[in-house]
Structure 1
Amino acid sequence: MARYLLLAALLLLAACSEPKPPLRIAINPWPGHEFLYLAEQQQLFEAEGVGVKILQFDSLNDARRAYERGQADGFGGTLVEVLVAREQSQRHPQVVHVTDYSNGGDMLIARPGIDNVRQLVGLRVAVEPGTLNTVILARALEQQGLDLAQVTLTSVPQGQMLEALQQGRVDAVVTYPPFTLEILKQPQFQKIFSTREIPGEILDIVAVDASVLATRKADVQAMLRALEAAHHYTRQHPEQAYAIMAAREGISPEDFRAAVENDLKLLSAADQIAYFGAEQRLLHSLQHIQRVLLHSQELTQPTDLDALVAP
């Protein structure tokens, strides 16, 4: 009997000692998400005792689809991807962290001859469907007393926005860094709207699947501590940090730093209480984004928004 008890104990010990698979987080090029990549490169996840693998994709849609297919446990994105993933898949994303808000990073850029948003009526505007692009455009039009029905939406991947403008296939594009940097280096194109005009509205987030949060809450918390450590590392070693993150996006450290410091507002662990606490800023943002996506028919029905916010 003792032999069987010993064997059972050894088997249990072996099972407990098996390493857990790393948390897989999908990201696309956006300065606010690069701090997750920096944490991986500087082994800050390991320092917090958690394995995390950053999966790199070219667009928000690609990162979201990887999550929907079960290839990722979570993703860095916007509230649009959270809502779309919930409707289009069997997965249940929950926002665990608000990384930043866009403060000029997302923008409308137009061809020559278009000087303001009102001139877009009846024209072709490029957006990446299923992303925040549509929301940005809707808010820009709304401020001028217009709506989405008064422009022609044209589906264009972010990496092809410049080409679409140059070839005259569209009259304006909705885009963000690092893509904006290349487009605005062409003197013929001009910015006609940015999220600097709607500060605090456009949030970037980290979301993980509800099943992951239920079974690996401590690992998710450790991942977020490492993310905070990446911000601290950047404050202590800005040149090294910006060089690492800029290299992944294929831009200069100077351009990357300018995007971080001028076009978005990074949010710390201490800032999270405003979004998850009594003010419920996160829930209010979800309500607003859902209304826009239902109006644009990118969502077909409302969902339980409270369930998308991590407890």
Structure 2
Amino acid sequence: MIRRLLLLLVVLLWGCQPAQVAMPLRVGSNQWIGYEPVYLARSLGWLDERKVRLVELPSSTQVMQALMHGNLEAGMLTLDEVLTLRARGVPLKVIALMDFSEGADVLVGRPGMRLGDLRGKRIGVENTAVGAILLDAALRAAGLTTNDVEVVPVEVDNHVEAFRSGRVDAVVTFEPSRSRLLAEGGVVLFDSSRIPGRIIDVLAVRANALPEHSGQIEHLLQAYYRALDYLQEHRQAACQRIAPRLHLSPQAVCESYSGIRLPPRALSRAWLGDGTLEQRAAELADLMYRRGLLPQPVSSAGLAEPRFLR
């Protein structure tokens, strides 16, 4: 009898224990106009930080490192960065498209400089595939190769300083650095509108985090698409909220969005569901490998995870 009572007491006490609280989904990004709708959702109070924690890092290189070391479950990255991480053994799945660069990624040169003037010049670029892809395309358009210029590795948070100080003559960059450099007299020599479909930003999650964080992922996407609608319907108000984070004027923020396309949920669902994303990734992976941007061939099979886009 006593043993039964003790057993009953243990069961009752166990039932009184508080339910285990799931750890928040840690989502990393660098500063980029295409990722701002996620931060806008947080600003508008639609993103519960107990469920999703946004981690902003100085560069995409650091976001990639954090994903490699397991310090993030998810990241906002370019498609080529996702392929680079998969080639290094990081099991990433793409759960949504974020933007297509259609002019927002640029090669900026000094006042009066033209694309044909790059021979012998110092060009700053972040050591990422996007930087390499844009620089490669710009040099090809100018009839040059990397042997004709001096490539200077510069992290994205140092682009403006490197250009301002004269350490580089031109720099491959993107918003918000693009607007800052143009305001100081820089000129666009080449931009991503000339290589359509080559620079795509996505939201990727480690495959081993999907089962544990499915609820947080659904919450993140719901808040993101709600903020995306707000940005489209209340552009001025949204740009005013975004501007302080990017240290730009609201007008400059609104103008920046002319250089990218923000796909709605339906387009993400279509691309991830019908194989389009994996086909584009396969083509990009082949290009990257042939140009020495991937250490080894990488498969795009199983890259897309469309189930959160219902």
Query: Do these two structures clear the TM 0.5 threshold for a shared fold by scoring above it?
Result: yes
CA contact (8 A) 1:40 1:52 kept: no
* Closer/same/farther in 2, CA of residues 22 and 165 from structure 1, 3 Å limit: same
1:1-311 matches, cutoff 5 A: 1=4, 4=7, 7-8=10-11, 11=14, 14=17, 17-46=19-48, 51-88=51-88, 90-112=89-111, 114-116=113-115, 118-143=116-141, 146-187=144-185, 189-260=186-257, 262-278=258-274, 280-310=275-305
CA contact (8 A) 2:96 2:269 kept: no
Q: Structure 1 CA distance, aligned partners of 2:16 and 2:219?
A: 24
* Closer/same/farther in 2, CA of residues 8 and 237 from structure 1, 3 Å limit: farther
The amino acid across from 2:273 in the alignment is: G
* Closer/same/farther in 2, CA of residues 6 and 294 from structure 1, 3 Å limit: farther
Q: Structure 2 CA distance, aligned partners of 1:12 and 1:82?
A: 43
Q: Rg larger in 1 or in 2?
A: 2
Structure 2: where are the runs of 5+ without partners?
Answer: none
Q: Structure 2 CA distance, aligned partners of 1:108 and 1:5?
A: 71
Instruction: Say which SS state the counterpart of residue 216 (structure 1) adopts.
Output: helix
CA contact (8 A) 2:108 2:189 kept: yes
Instruction: Say which SS state the counterpart of residue 58 (structure 1) adopts.
Output: coil
Q: Structure 2 CA distance, aligned partners of 1:285 and 1:153?
A: 28
Q: Structure 2 CA distance, aligned partners of 1:120 and 1:287?
A: 32
* Closer/same/farther in 2, CA of residues 153 and 296 from structure 1, 3 Å limit: farther
CA contact (8 A) 2:273 2:304 kept: no
Structure 1: where are the runs of 5+ without partners?
Answer: none
CA contact (8 A) 2:129 2:293 kept: no
CA contact (8 A) 1:50 1:219 kept: no
Instruction: Say which SS state the counterpart of residue 265 (structure 2) adopts.
Output: coil
TM-score by length of 2: 0.87
Q: Structure 1 CA distance, aligned partners of 2:140 and 2:305?
A: 31
Aligned residues: CA RMSD: 2.6
Instruction: Give 1:3 deviation, angstroms.
Output: 6.2
Q: Structure 1 CA distance, aligned partners of 2:200 and 2:47?
A: 24
State the percentage of identical aligned residues.
28
